Structure 1
Amino acid sequence: MGMRLLKRFSTFTCLEKKVSPNSLKSKTKNVSSQHWLSRQLSDPYVEKAKLMNYRCRSAFKLLEIDDKYKILKPGQIVLDVGASPGSWSQVIAHKINSNGKNKELLTGTVIAIDKQNIYPIEGVTIFGNMDFTSEEVQKKLMEFLGERKVDIVASDMAPSATGIRDMDNENMLKLCYSVLRFSLQVTKNSGIILMKLWQCGDTKKLENDICRFYNNVKVVKPKSSRSDSTEIYLLGREFKGLRS
């Protein structure tokens, strides 16, 4: 029954069509780049990340979520999907003690994966330059885990934006369902899933699908997430396992 449930997700038809955006006009790109630079320069979290030695401001989103929901604990096994440049992995490594700096606590395991290269992080096993959505790459992750199950699958992954809203939303949802399908195979009972999503017409459908497998599902919008962004996070706790 479990495998049939997994296959049903792969038939999410509106996400299966291949999206290959045309190149955008250079003028649009320039305006977008200028807006991004201006926003970065005025963002207090960017400077705070530098001061605290985090690789980017996204670290504070995970820190906020963990402060409120207490999901990260010493000794856990955590998969960080879409990890580059590594700020979430930095937070996770400290929280679960995968770097072994606190000898009195259990030592956890962090596995970070991204299509881009990730520079080494103490206490983190890195799968860099690898596409998580690839079956071959997922097989490698499964082989690395062996008989072990994961406590948390955390995804801050997002597709490259095209500027075409419907296309971007479809690409984002496709990534989210890829994370969910893999999570169902590797997460231990009572485990957790945390994934980034852009609010769109299918947000509720994804939330409902997560509810089928996790007892407690919440929509989370950290304060450090920019107010003008449609970015939200779905947090599913208490994984029920694959059952009918």
Structure 2
Amino acid sequence: MDGLEYHTFLQGDVAHEETLRQILKTLGDRRADLVLSDLAPALVGLKSEDHLNSMQCCLQAARIMERTLKLGGLFVLKFQSGPEMTHLRAYLDSRFDTVRSIRPGAIRSTREMLFICKGFLGRQSIASEAKSKNVGKHEGVDQWHGELQWLRGQGLLDDE
């Protein structure tokens, strides 16, 4: 491909860690304003297989996006529609202010769609997500204390 002013082209497999290292090295101390993913698996002609392979490509793209996109940035992701897209959407909703799905007329397949994600929020550390005042305590037991006592009194609950 011919070079473009202010652009750097890298070739690599998105599933390999070396490709991510090359991207990070090229960016240096900067982060991307926009990450575009036009990844597509080799289609086998089976809807469920093609959809799951597309979701795998989306996960690879998201892994790179998480490390390279600046806060507030945009992420555009192509995928094959199917049942797992709801899980992908839930993940994207947790990382962006706004997520929209569209099917542009110019897309080659009736099953291909795009997620347009605006306002990258980043990710909180797992430690802050795991902290809870109820850690080590059975969730909801205190809420049902009265009902548990009643069940014991009726002989319907055996604590052993």
| TM-score under structure 2 length normalisation | 0.73
Runs of 5+ consecutive residues of structure 2 not aligned to the other structure: 130-160
C-alpha offsets along residues 89-137 of structure 1, whole Å, 9 cap, x if unaligned? xxxxxxxxxxxxxxxxxxxxxxxxxxxxxx1232231113x11221111
C-alpha offsets along residues 163-215 of structure 1, whole Å, 9 cap, x if unaligned? 12222111110110111122111111110110001110111110110000101
Runs of 5+ consecutive residues of structure 1 not aligned to the other structure: 1-118
- Alignment match, 1:232: 113
2:16 aligned with 1:134, yes or no?
yes
Q: Is the 8 A contact 2:31 2:70 kept in 1?
A: yes
Q: CA deviation at 1:216?
A: 0.3
Aligned equivalents of 1:127, 1:147: Cα separation in 2: 18
- Alignment match, 1:157: 39
Rg larger for: 2
| TM-score under structure 1 length normalisation | 0.49
The percentage of aligned residue pairs carrying the same residue is 23
- Alignment match, 1:168: 50
- Listed as ranges, the matches of 1:66-145 within 5 Å are 119-123=1-5, 124-128=7-11, 130-145=12-27
Q: Is the 8 A contact 1:199 1:230 kept in 2?
A: yes
Aligned equivalents of 1:159, 1:120: Cα separation in 2: 25
